[in-house]
Structure 1
Amino acid sequence: MPYDESLAARIRELLASEPGIAEKRMFGGLAFLIDGKLSVAASGSGGLMARVAPEQTDELLNRHQLHAEPFIMRGRPIDGWLRVTAEGVKTRQQLKPWVSRSVAYA
């Protein structure tokens, strides 16, 4: 499944004033990098891939149980990465905190 172009546009809009932003196709989606560091992505599997502080992973998963899950790579969860469902970033109010958090960590 290709990434959600509308979600990518909404992320792009939120990042418009950030310096050092670059876009790169990765993981079947569209990643947004800050000074070369992967920050957030419109996932090719749907929804959002968000980079967060590894020590916040469990707290964020608990707080956003309905829409966030661990990012799994090669069968293992990766601390510091979350997958957020499309339903969990449907509105600007839902999306903005995830993007802000990812930018702050990057």
Structure 2
Amino acid sequence: MFGGLSFMVNERMAVAAGRVGDLLVRVNPADYDALLEDGGVPAFMGKDRPMGPGWLSVPSERVQDESDLAHWLDVGIHSGDAKA
């Protein structure tokens, strides 16, 4: 999807790995602003077509080690979880 390799969890796309090491991550819209501060950037479908607050792109520079990758995978996997 979107030129990357997508990973599904519970019948939903959680994350897609891009060709250059970037990630497309499904996020809980309520967490969107905080995740922007954490290194995510708005995701776009082509020029000037934002995907909205349910998706972020994570540049490869923000995924430097297993801990970074685990963080963003956790975000994508748990994006549909209800908040307490």
Q: TM-score range by the shorter chain?
A: 0.7 to 0.9
| CA RMSD across the alignment | 1.6
Specify whether residues 91 and 46 from structure 1 end up closer, same or farther in structure 2 by C-alpha distance, changes over 3 A only.
closer
Out of 44, 53, 62, the position equivalent to 1:72 is 44
Higher relative contact order (CA 8 A, sep 6+): 2
After TM superposition, give the deviation of residue 63 of structure 1 in Å. 3.0
Identical counterparts, % of pairs:
37
Whether 2:7 is the aligned partner of 1:35: answer: no
Contact 1:30 1:43 in 2 (8 A): yes
Bigger radius of gyration, 1 or 2? 1
Q: How many residues align?
A: 78
**8 Å contact 2:20–2:60 — kept in the other structure?**
no
Q: Scaled by the length of structure 2, what TM-score is found? A: 0.80
Amino acid in the other structure paired with 1:71: A
Q: Which runs of 4+ in 1 moved over 2 A?
A: none
2:70 maps to 1:96: yes
Unaligned runs of 5+ in 2: none
